[in-house]
Structures are given as structure tokens and as C-alpha cells.
Amino acid sequence: MASSSAVALLAMSAQPGGEPTRHTNDDVLARLAAIDHRLHQITTHLAAVDQLHSQLDDIRANLETLIRSLRLAEPARPTAITNARTIR
């Protein structure tokens, strides 16, 4: 069997000219194998992206919870209006 780069190159190459060409069964099978290999690569990359997206959602939720907790735990700070009243 041909190497994956050769199969991929075969799958991407187009016949020049407007004449239809006949492909042997081996050509068709090689192209299908290249397409299958590429789809597998894409699927693998998409799974990794989905996993990262899920992890980022978890991090975002944890940060939101932490920020809410910190806001509830800190003492009330005087606002600008309160500061202006105490200065007078």
C-alpha cells in the first residue's frame, strides 16, 4: 500500500484538461482511503477542540463562583457619594 502522504497527494491531485478520465479500482480505493484518513484526522482534532471547550467552560464557571464568593466576603467599601459626605 502507498504511504499516507502519497495517498493524500493522489487524493488531492486533479487531472488537467477537460477530458473525463477513467479510474481503475485501485485509484478509486486509494482516493477513498485518503479521504477516510483525512476525515479521521479531522474528527480527532474536533474531539480535542471539544474537550478544550469543555475545560474552558469549567474554568469560567469556577472563576465566576470564586468572584461571587469574594464579592460576598469583602466588607462593604464606601462609595464615592459616602466619601463626599464624610469630607464635608
- Domain of 39 in residue numbering reads as 4-87
How confident is the model over 8-59, as pLDDT tens digits? Answer: 555 555 555 666 667 788 899 999 999 999 999 999 999 999 999 999 999 9
Give start and end residues of each alpha helix (H) in 1-88: 4-12, 25-73, 80-87
pLDDT at residue 6 above 50? yes
- Does residue 7 contact residue 37 with C-beta atoms inside 8 Å? yes
Q: Which residue has the cell 466576603?
A: 73
Which pTM does this prediction carry?
Answer: 0.48
Q: How many domains does the chain have?
A: 1
How confident is the model over 54-66, as pLDDT tens digits? Answer: 999 999 999 999 9
pLDDT at residue 87 above 80? no
For residues 63 and 77, give the distance between their C-alpha atoms in angstroms, rounded to a whole number: 22
